[in-house]
A and B are shown apart, each in its own frame.
Chain A
Amino acid sequence: MKRAYRQFTERFIEGLLALSGTVTSLTVLLIVVFLFNEGLSLFGTSPLENKTALVVNESNPVQKLSAVSIKDIFDQKITNWKEVGGKDEDILIITVNDIGNYYSEEQIGAEFEHLPDCFSRLVDSLPNALAVINESYRTSYFKGHTIDVNKNNLPDFLSGKEWFPTAEPAVQLGVLPLILGTLMVSLLAILLALPIGLATAIYMAEIADERIRKVLKPVIELLAGIPSVVYGFFGLITIVPFIHDVFDLPVGETALAGSLVLAIMALPTIITVSEDAIRNTPRSMREASLALGANKWQTIQKVVLPYSMSGISAAAILGIGRAIGETMAVLMVTGNAAVMPKSILQPVRTIPATIAAELGEAPNGGVHYKALFALGCILFIITLIINIWVERISAKRKFKK
């Protein structure tokens, strides 16, 4: 009896442990489900916000417009129907605000009850009109046809060069500037941090006294633990004004500022991981090299570094992954301009910073909200690829040993 009870307990606890182990896997799956559920639902929705419709005169041959050309029309970069495949006529935009110029208050009605009618007559009388109306005005007796707007889709999303999710009437959801901004800031950060971090790691593992190392190691561990918002704050107070003054720029919040802050943040990780990799070189390898007459530097160069290369590259890739996902520090110092990055001395905006800055203002369930989740998906996929990459490198390393 007692024995059966004991066996039952053992089984029960083993089950509990297995369950806990499964929780992490479930979490990842849940994250994937939620992220992609919201993110992918973006595609197929219309870029027209708030139930808006675009209508034109019956005679207008234009049937379809893309979100980008709509924005260009409203920004008056496109002013003639010819440019979007119509007749050679100037585009006349009519919105609710303009309707007063054509009809009196009486005609519109005190409760705006005649508004749909006014629009209908106006569009019918002006062959070059482009009216922005509420979808509900589009009743069967409305004269004029609706312009089809290309639905949000993945290729446009990835290749679009404009990120303007609150634009009226059509939102602009091009993530290319954000992706490029993210890559530019993080890669530059690693380019800066890797050689310096590696040199420091070599110094700590191979050159420094044990006593010096005992002092340095905790300092570097401490810095690895400092919250990113503190680094962001530090960057904001020191690096941003510094860049502003040195390069004589209108604003100091630039890609360079982001890269510098990220580089500082990446240093502790790179140093710790590379130092471990270097110290893991077997003693027998070092001894063999020294016994053949190599000096310490030759041994480091020809034996230690090649041997620890996979560990060091894991450190670099890990650093890139962290930098790509870093949110707060970057948000605070890069200026967040969602434009195609051209120089490191311009403000840029990264994917995480965009999510952090905009999610609070995006109406729940709207196109903007979904677009931010789609950004989350991109971020997730990038970091997943990086994780698997690091995994494979370290697996190879274990095999080698």
Chain B
Amino acid sequence: MRMIETKNVQLYYGDFHALKDISMQIESNTVTALIGPSGCGKSTYLRLFNRMNDLIDNVRIEGDVLVEGRDIYGKGLGMRIDELRKKVGMVFQKPNPFPKSIFENVAYGLRVNGIKNKDYIEERVETSLKQSALWNEVKDKLNKSAFELSGGQQQRLCIARALANEPSVLLMDEPASALDPISTAKIEELIYELKEKYTIIIVTHNMQQAGRVSDKTAFFYLGELIEYDTTPHIFTNPTDSRTQAYVTGRFG
């Protein structure tokens, strides 16, 4: 099933042409890695799918972005921005838990989306924490501040927080770049497990990570999508010379 599709997307920050005519399709229950050098547009592209780019002034977007077949930027179809963001969860580069308790962090998305049923919220919090492999570590201190957790735990809390909304897509913007190797390994393991239920798009700087976790890889360069193919293909037999130069570490 096709989860996400972009057709001829152009994105401008003022005069700067940040995404150039990007067309891409992402299947459900896959992990797609977006790679490329800094400033290539991969994060901007990721932020198209939950309309995070809207927060920046002077952004202009052309073309179609479809999530589950619905045009999320079109006015007529009526998917509201907060419904979209509930459906498309996001995990950021640095762990950014709220200054609230662990429980309230995970319950936040449910509460802001109008869910009041206490039992249901408790159940969702537990499930989400289990899914993000954090439950055993925090089940006795759910009322403690989220800031008491380690960096890696905080990031898994942020994943749990996103999962609580039962999204269909999970966007991850370099989720492990601020973490130590052990925490990184845990996150990667998690991504592998989550693939069963979610469509995951991950931006990463780390070539090995892309190779380990993703099914497909897209290489971005200067705002263009250079190559998009299965991960083994990109890493072992890329069509474009720029892709080859990048994955072999000749620039980056």
Instruction: Give complex CA distance A289, B100 in Å.
Output: 12
A292:B89 contact, CB within 8 angstroms? yes
In the complex, what residue of chain B is closest to A282 when comparing beta carbons?
Answer: B96
Q: CB of A298 within 8 A of chain B?
A: yes
B98:A291 contact, CB within 8 angstroms? no
A288:B158 contact, CB within 8 angstroms? yes
Chain B residues in 8 Å Cβ range of A400: 99
B89:A288 contact, CB within 8 angstroms? no
Q: CB of B113 within 8 A of chain A?
A: yes
Chain B residues in 8 Å Cβ range of A303: 98
Q: CB of A295 within 8 A of chain B?
A: yes
In this complex, the member of A210, A287, A288 whose beta carbon has the largest number of chain B beta carbons within 10 angstroms is A288
Chain B residues in 8 Å Cβ range of A306: 99-100
Cβ contacts A269-303/B at 8 Å (1 or 0 each) = 00000000000001011111111111100100011
A287:B55 contact, CB within 8 angstroms? yes
Q: CB of B86 within 8 A of chain A?
A: yes
A291:B112 contact, CB within 8 angstroms? no
Chain B residues in 8 Å Cβ range of A288: 92, 96-98, 158, 161
Q: CB of A163 within 8 A of chain B?
A: no
B92:A292 contact, CB within 8 angstroms? no
Cβ contacts B137-178/A at 8 Å (1 or 0 each) = 000000000000000000000100110010000000000000
Q: CB of B6 within 8 A of chain A?
A: no
A292:B99 contact, CB within 8 angstroms? no
* Total number of A residues with any Cβ neighbor in B under 8 Å: 20
In the complex, what residue of chain A is closest to B88 when comparing beta carbons?
Answer: A291
Instruction: Give complex CA distance A303, B92 in Å.
Output: 17
In the complex, what residue of chain B is closest to A292 when comparing beta carbons?
Answer: B109
Instruction: Give complex CA distance A293, B107 in Å.
Output: 12
Q: Which of B37-83 contact A (CB under 8 A)?
A: 50, 52, 55, 57, 81-83
Q: Give which listed residue, B57, B85, B113, contacts A290 with CB less than 8 A.
A: B85
Q: CB of B94 within 8 A of chain A?
A: yes
B57:A302 contact, CB within 8 angstroms? no
Cβ contacts B170-195/A at 8 Å (1 or 0 each) = 00000000000000000000000000
With A284-B92, A298-B112 already in contact, the answer to whether A289 and B98 are too (CB < 8 A) is yes
Q: CB of B108 within 8 A of chain A?
A: yes
Q: CB of A231 within 8 A of chain B?
A: no
A292:B161 contact, CB within 8 angstroms? yes
Cβ contacts B101-124/A at 8 Å (1 or 0 each) = 000000011011100000000000
Instruction: Give complex CA distance A285, B94 in Å.
Output: 11
Interface size class of B (residues with CB under 8 A): 20 to 34
B96:A293 contact, CB within 8 angstroms? no
Q: CB of A373 within 8 A of chain B?
A: no
Chain B residues in 8 Å Cβ range of A282: 96
Q: CB of B234 within 8 A of chain A?
A: no
Q: Give which listed residue, A284, A286, A291, A302, contacts B85 with CB less than 8 A.
A: A291
B86:A292 contact, CB within 8 angstroms? yes
Q: CB of A307 within 8 A of chain B?
A: yes
Chain A residues in 8 Å Cβ range of B162: 291-292
A293:B85 contact, CB within 8 angstroms? yes
Instruction: Give complex CA distance A210, B90 in Å.
Output: 27
Q: Give which listed residue, B57, B94, B100, B108, contacts A292 with CB less than 8 A.
A: B108
A292:B52 contact, CB within 8 angstroms? no
Chain B residues in 8 Å Cβ range of A286: 55
In the complex, what residue of chain A is closest to B83 when comparing beta carbons?
Answer: A293
Instruction: Give complex CA distance A284, B90 in Å.
Output: 12
Chain B residues in 8 Å Cβ range of A287: 52, 55, 90, 92, 96
A292:B96 contact, CB within 8 angstroms? no
With A287-B52, A294-B112 already in contact, the answer to whether A307 and B99 are too (CB < 8 A) is yes
Q: Give which listed residue, A210, A290, A292, A298, contacts B165 with CB less than 8 A.
A: A292
In this complex, the member of A285, A291, A298 whose beta carbon has the largest number of chain B beta carbons within 10 angstroms is A291
B92:A294 contact, CB within 8 angstroms? no
Chain A residues in 8 Å Cβ range of B83: 293
B52:A290 contact, CB within 8 angstroms? yes
B92:A293 contact, CB within 8 angstroms? no
With A210-B57, A288-B158, A289-B108 already in contact, the answer to whether A295 and B82 are too (CB < 8 A) is yes
Chain A residues in 8 Å Cβ range of B111: 302
In this complex, the member of B98, B113, B161 whose beta carbon has the largest number of chain A beta carbons within 10 angstroms is B98
A285:B98 contact, CB within 8 angstroms? yes
B112:A285 contact, CB within 8 angstroms? no
Q: 17 more A-B contacts (CB under 8 A) besides A292-B86, A292-B162?
A: A210-B57, A287-B96, A288-B158, A291-B50, A291-B89, A291-B92, A291-B162, A292-B108, A293-B82, A293-B83, A293-B85, A293-B109, A293-B112, A294-B109, A294-B113, A302-B98, A302-B112
User: Which residues does B use to contact A, with CB under 8 Å?
Assistant: 50, 52, 55, 57, 81-83, 85-86, 89-90, 92, 94, 96-100, 108-109, 111-113, 158, 161-162, 165
User: Which residues does A use to contact B, with CB under 8 Å?
Assistant: 210, 282, 284-295, 298, 302-303, 306-307, 400
Could you give 27 example pairs across A and B, Cβ below 8 Å?
A284-B94, A287-B96, A288-B92, A288-B97, A288-B158, A288-B161, A289-B108, A290-B85, A291-B85, A291-B89, A291-B90, A292-B89, A292-B109, A292-B161, A292-B162, A293-B82, A293-B86, A293-B165, A294-B82, A294-B108, A295-B81, A298-B112, A302-B98, A302-B108, A302-B111, A303-B98, A306-B100
